[in-house]
Structure 1
Amino acid sequence: MDNILTLAEGLIKSASNSSEKGIFFIKGEDKEEFISYKQVYLGALKVLYNLQLQGLKAGDELIIQIRDTDNKLFIHIFWACILGKIIPVPVSVTHRENASKVLKIFRQLKNPKAIVNEKCLEDLEKFIIGTSFSESLEKLEASSIPIDEITKDRGMGKVELIKQEDIAFIQFSSGSTGDPKGVVLTHKNLLTNIGDIIEGFNGSERDSTYSWMPLTHDMGIIGLHMLPLVFNINQYLMPTSLFVKNPVLWIKKINEHRVTITAASNFGLRYFLDKLKDTEYHEWDLSCIRKVFNGAEPIAVDIIKEFLYKLAIYRLKRDTMYTVYGMADASLAVAFPPSDEEFSCIYVRRDSLNVGQPIVELKKGEESNLSMELVIEGYSVKHCNIRIVDDNLNILEEGRLGNIEISGDNVTKEYYNNPELTKSIISEDGWLATGDLGFIKGGRIVVIGRSKDVIRINGITYYPHYIEKKCEDIEGISTGRIVACALEDKLIERDRLIIFLLFKRRMEDFIDFAERVKKLIGEQINISVDEVIPVKSIPKTTSGKVQRFKLVEMYKKGEFEESINNVSEVLSRKVMDTIAAAKE
């Protein structure tokens, strides 16, 4: 890391290093491909030549939307952009729920070119034709560069002179709260944070990383690709689609290659545990793992405890679970716990979690219906500052709940081509409003959740993940399959509580689940559920975060009316049958 001022310098330095470090692309149980960092550099130069031949120059924008089975191609294109000072804009692969995302991004850019593989374009056409995005789709297709035109071996591109303050790439938000916003990340932002991350987890040249997260996600591209490349350690990349097919392969390969650093969200850990079941792998020895980064929103304590418990027989140490806080706006990392400690929690009264109020701490198990267990994420990383403010931007003392704001050399200074959004989120003196609620405990940040997700009923604040966690006590309901949402009702001047439940069985069976959910929330949280709605899928980001706003949007558009009517019909029949049985 010494004397590296830009990412381009980092790649060149790793490429010229005498040790053969690089990327292992995991393609299956017995299928892998290795390329050294020197090969990454040479491959990127070849792609750069072709991009420059297509007329792309320093400062131009290039959308990259490539399926994760082509991670090697993605990396060559991405680093070609870095070397040529072209601005890469990675975008996740299209599926029905986010088909419009790439076109929303396209509209926000100035004059972009795009590299979108053929299957992605076909999917876009299928989902977009006939909608308000049709014209944007035509423009995107017209600006697209064929993949076979950039992979030809014609020559080596010209590396541009790059400065620390130049834009490295645009990381568009994963979309957990609305339209994607383009986070501008400079070389200085990224290298500052990469250095802080390495220092935070006490990284060494003996480390290696393993990732199943998409390269379009900040943890995937920055934490588990850029960092090991610049730090010149081996990295292992598993396509997210392969993880979905075979999540146990993640840990199998970590064991096989003796990997030390990996990461997973609530979704990833839960998905892995569901597939692991009671199978035993006698060949596993997970003592090699030093850290499992977990920066979910919020971190699910029950899941990480189950993960550590089930893998303890394979010598996975408890202090490997590294509960951190971060976001793309901060170039990834905001707060880390000490690297030599086990994760820790705090128990608070949930009715004390109102902005400006002091947190009321409880002992474990005390007043269980009011107790809320929260993970303590840690101290701010070296070059990042954290403060807590109330709704009037007054700075709050330790122990009071408020809005989390951050500043520092790792924090973005603007949102791309959007001065109004920049002004609304980042203050003149550089403090960025994260949109998260939290408080400081012993100098460490504790994050409660997104402020936009808060549910307010009769003047009391409720947090959706708390409601969801309570419902998981019902057999058949697990993490990620139930979502609590607030729907503002101006007529009654309060939020309506809507529960969405992933359910694909008979409607008669759903009625029983719905009644049990309503009863549990009424008895244990003392609020009434307005509606419980069965859904066939729950929209999530590429990293598994639930997109509550999409469920609310779909509800407002009437997309659940048929399901609601079906529930009403079955419920009516059940009531009539009960009355008839009573008469008999």
Structure 2
Amino acid sequence: MKQTSTTLIGYLQHYAESIPDALYSRYLFADRDPVEIDYQTTLERTKQFASGYAAYGIEKGSVVLVILEHHEDLMPAFLGAMWLGAIPAFLPHPNPRIDPERYYNNMEVLIESTRPQAILTRPQVRALLHKTIPAGAHRPTLLTVEDVTITGQSNAPVPVDAEHPALIQYSSGSTGMQKGALLSHRAILAEIEGVGEFFDITQKDSIMSWIPLYHDWGLVCVALHALVLGSNFTLISPVDWVKRPVMALEAVDRYRPTIFYQPNFAFNFMTQRIKDREMEGLDLSSIRLMCNGAEPCFYESHKMFADRFCHWGFRKDSLGIVYGMAEVTNSVFAAGHREPIVVDTVDRFILQSEKRAVPVSEDSPNVQRILGVGRALRGTEFKIVDDNRQEIPDRHIGEVAIRSRARFHGYYRNPEATKKVLDKDGWYYTGDMGYRVGNILFITGRKSDMIIVGGVNIFPQDIEAIVGEHPAAVAGRIAAIGVDDPEMGTQKIVVLVESKSTDKAVLNDIARFARAEVAQRLGVTIDEVIHVPYRWLIKTSSGKIARIPNYKRLSELKKQKTVNLEASEIT
């Protein structure tokens, strides 16, 4: 990648001048025609937002929260704040699937911790925020798009250097508990360069996803990668995609993107939900990189997706993986493309009981296949450490620590949280568990989510993946939780499962399947299988199931008497 600027705004200006009519962004909607925006129009709209923000006192260093629905104004509103040297951050817009009371209560906590100068949103959300946010010295200015786009256009951008904060990216967590990773222009450009080099991404590529821009993967790997490379992106609303997942593959057929990003559960979801009749006439051969990430990646998910969609031109060798998090901008490890994804076959029971990845043959009865997330990209190094943060040998499971040129400055207005994860030598301790084999990293789960039963470590995503194989269970909407059991002196395993079915026989079959398969494959017993209503489980803002918060919410269902259990009611 040839560097033409040291800031993101510099790249916008460069391409608006050199390729003004080239497509930058395309937004797809279920209820209206697609909207396409070129680089020149993006620049003009950005300058219009910047002028409006300035009229309300936004200046260099101000924090601006952007809360908009899936809309073509998302990036101009975001870049407009950046134009002034302000620090923008996307937050999710409320939708019918989000509990309003929970959303606005969490927003109140986040706003108090962040203390933004302004929030840009729609009139209805502004009215509710006005009621929610207490009056006081730190109350932000609540703006709508109409407020800030009635003026003219800003002139030259406020000059900033590469180390100036470009944006705040909120990490996973329930909204009020999120930490805001402060990212510089330098860090973002380093990440884009690393991923671009590994996958040979150029101006000729076209990126597509349904991952929202408030997620670091959507913002960085989709919108900002396209901006810096002078390429383009197509974005689908995640709400529309969930309702009708084939619309993503219809868009591939129509717009011929070369790169598609989506998390692991989507590979299962699309394989299970899309019907053959919906695929008639579609061609997926334009995809040269179908990239997985943002959560643990499973061999079985890749295989089922490739086996299913190869009939419509999808190539297995297009599968890729990226790994990272907001604290290192997004992706600093990669696999696939010219460096095939490594599949490690290890003994499942030794992995759980001894925290070692011991190789076994493919036909071993205890085999577990783990996908490598690849090697560290240029400017990044890693190590695996024990509980004392001392490095441990290959094939021993410990916490993943990363040192990278794409590292964040710290958590915004939260030095204590920063100190806990970032040491004086620049190592960021991720909270992810994994092991290394040479220069390849393997991720096994999250440190905080680990279930420990009788001294055996169980990763909840392993249980969730097994339960999700049942055809009536909703992929990506299953939560396995370890609950302390003082009487037994260990943890018990509770699994929350969503299904579209309310048939008692179907729900009982899910429970029987879960118990039998988990016992056989993992050697542990599920204590409770709880069927919760479809769309009941809450997720973090980045789309991951919030395990412990969901368990704590069960009391609400007990009161409502809407929980179906395999053999008995909650008492």
Q: TM-score, normalised by structure 1?
A: 0.89
Q: Is the 8 A contact 1:351 1:461 kept in 2?
A: no
Q: Is the 8 A contact 2:20 2:38 kept in 1?
A: no
Tell me how many residue pairs correspond in the alignment: 560
Residue of structure 2 equivalent to 1:114: 119
- Per the TM alignment, residue 327 of structure 1 is displaced from its structure 2 partner at its CA by 1.1
Residue of structure 2 equivalent to 1:365: 363
Q: Is the 8 A contact 2:269 2:475 kept in 1?
A: no
> Which among 195, 199, 202 is matched to residue 201 of structure 1?
199
Q: Residue by residue, what CA displacement relative to the aligned partner does 1:435-480 show, whole Å, maximum 9, x if unpaired?
A: 1001112311111111111110111111112222333454533532
Residue of structure 2 equivalent to 1:6: 7
Q: Is the 8 A contact 2:466 2:514 kept in 1?
A: no
1:464-479 matches, within 5 Å, as 464-477=460-473, 479=475
- Per the TM alignment, residue 178 of structure 1 is displaced from its structure 2 partner at its CA by 8.4
Structure 1 residues 355 and 33: CA distance shift in structure 2, 3 A: same
Structure 1 residues 459 and 450: CA distance shift in structure 2, 3 A: same
2:255 partner letter: H
- Higher Cα radius of gyration: 1
Residue of structure 2 equivalent to 1:534: 531
- Per the TM alignment, residue 75 of structure 1 is displaced from its structure 2 partner at its CA by 1.2
1:425 partner letter: V
- Per the TM alignment, residue 118 of structure 1 is displaced from its structure 2 partner at its CA by 2.6
Matched residues in 2 for 1:58 and 1:253: separation? Answer: 39
- Per the TM alignment, residue 406 of structure 1 is displaced from its structure 2 partner at its CA by 0.6
2:84 partner letter: G
Structure 2 residue 500 is the aligned partner of structure 1 residue 501:
no
| Structure 1 stretch displaced more, 39-48 or 354-363 | 354-363
Structure 2 residue 252 is the aligned partner of structure 1 residue 263:
no
| Structure 1 stretch displaced more, 192-201 or 246-255 | 246-255
Structure 2 residue 449 is the aligned partner of structure 1 residue 450:
no
1:138-537 matches, within 5 Å, as 143-175=141-173, 179-279=177-277, 281-353=279-351, 357-367=355-365, 370-477=366-473, 479-490=475-486, 492-503=488-499, 504-507=501-504, 510-536=507-533, 537=536
- Per the TM alignment, residue 553 of structure 1 is displaced from its structure 2 partner at its CA by 2.7
Matched residues in 2 for 1:24 and 1:570: separation? Answer: 50
Residue of structure 2 equivalent to 1:84: 84
Residue of structure 2 equivalent to 1:581: none
Structure 1 residues 569 and 39: CA distance shift in structure 2, 3 A: closer
Q: Is the 8 A contact 1:200 1:338 kept in 2?
A: no
| Structure 1 stretch displaced more, 29-38 or 75-84 | 29-38
- Per the TM alignment, residue 506 of structure 1 is displaced from its structure 2 partner at its CA by 4.3
Matched residues in 1 for 2:175 and 2:111: separation? Answer: 19
Matched residues in 1 for 2:45 and 2:431: separation? Answer: 40
Structure 1 residues 432 and 310: CA distance shift in structure 2, 3 A: same
Q: Secondary structure at 2:473's aligned position in 1?
A: coil
Residue of structure 2 equivalent to 1:582: none
| Structure 1 stretch displaced more, 408-417 or 501-510 | 501-510
Structure 1 residues 282 and 518: CA distance shift in structure 2, 3 A: closer
Q: Is the 8 A contact 2:267 2:305 kept in 1?
A: yes
Matched residues in 2 for 1:56 and 1:375: separation? Answer: 46
Q: Is the 8 A contact 2:557 2:563 kept in 1?
A: no
Structure 1 residues 145 and 13: CA distance shift in structure 2, 3 A: same
Q: Residue by residue, what CA displacement relative to the aligned partner does 1:389-428 show, whole Å, maximum 9, x if unpaired?
A: 0111111122221100111210113111001000011111
Structure 1 residues 491 and 390: CA distance shift in structure 2, 3 A: same
- Per the TM alignment, residue 335 of structure 1 is displaced from its structure 2 partner at its CA by 0.6
Matched residues in 1 for 2:566 and 2:437: separation? Answer: 50
| Structure 1 stretch displaced more, 545-554 or 286-295 | 545-554
Matched residues in 2 for 1:565 and 1:279: separation? Answer: 35
Q: Residue by residue, what CA displacement relative to the aligned partner does 1:487-513 show, whole Å, maximum 9, x if unpaired?
A: 123454322211112145145653454
Structure 1 residues 472 and 116: CA distance shift in structure 2, 3 A: closer
- Per the TM alignment, residue 23 of structure 1 is displaced from its structure 2 partner at its CA by 1.6
Structure 1 residues 568 and 327: CA distance shift in structure 2, 3 A: closer
1:46-65 matches, within 5 Å, as 46-65=48-67
1:76 partner letter: P
- Per the TM alignment, residue 88 of structure 1 is displaced from its structure 2 partner at its CA by 0.5
- Per the TM alignment, residue 28 of structure 1 is displaced from its structure 2 partner at its CA by 4.4
Matched residues in 2 for 1:364 and 1:99: separation? Answer: 50
Q: Residue by residue, what CA displacement relative to the aligned partner does 1:251-270 show, whole Å, maximum 9, x if unpaired?
A: 22222222111111123333
Which runs of 5 or more structure 1 residues have no equivalent in the other structure? 574-584
Q: TM-score, normalised by structure 2?
A: 0.91
| Structure 1 stretch displaced more, 474-483 or 497-506 | 474-483
| Structure 1 stretch displaced more, 172-181 or 286-295 | 172-181
Matched residues in 1 for 2:292 and 2:51: separation? Answer: 39
Q: Residue by residue, what CA displacement relative to the aligned partner does 1:11-44 show, whole Å, maximum 9, x if unpaired?
A: 1111111363222222349822222112111111
RMSD of aligned residue pairs (Cα, Å): 2.8
Matched residues in 2 for 1:227 and 1:337: separation? Answer: 18
Structure 1 residues 339 and 506: CA distance shift in structure 2, 3 A: closer
Q: Is the 8 A contact 2:194 2:332 kept in 1?
A: no
Q: Is the 8 A contact 1:266 1:544 kept in 2?
A: no
Q: Residue by residue, what CA displacement relative to the aligned partner does 1:179-215 show, whole Å, maximum 9, x if unpaired?
A: 2011110001100111111101111221111121111
Q: Is the 8 A contact 2:20 2:40 kept in 1?
A: no
Q: Is the 8 A contact 2:106 2:174 kept in 1?
A: no
Matched residues in 2 for 1:569 and 1:432: separation? Answer: 43
| Structure 1 stretch displaced more, 94-103 or 344-353 | 94-103
Q: Is the 8 A contact 1:48 1:157 kept in 2?
A: no
Matched residues in 1 for 2:146 and 2:532: separation? Answer: 41
Structure 2 residue 544 is the aligned partner of structure 1 residue 545:
yes
Q: Secondary structure at 2:475's aligned position in 1?
A: coil
Q: Is the 8 A contact 2:212 2:238 kept in 1?
A: yes
Matched residues in 2 for 1:423 and 1:490: separation? Answer: 33
Structure 2 residue 25 is the aligned partner of structure 1 residue 23:
yes
Matched residues in 1 for 2:137 and 2:490: separation? Answer: 43
Q: Secondary structure at 2:154's aligned position in 1?
A: coil
Matched residues in 1 for 2:261 and 2:278: separation? Answer: 22
Residue of structure 2 equivalent to 1:554: 553
| Structure 1 stretch displaced more, 175-184 or 481-490 | 175-184
Residue of structure 2 equivalent to 1:578: none
Q: Is the 8 A contact 1:507 1:566 kept in 2?
A: no
2:324 partner letter: G
Q: Is the 8 A contact 2:68 2:122 kept in 1?
A: yes
Q: Secondary structure at 2:9's aligned position in 1?
A: helix
Matched residues in 1 for 2:273 and 2:191: separation? Answer: 34
Matched residues in 2 for 1:572 and 1:92: separation? Answer: 36
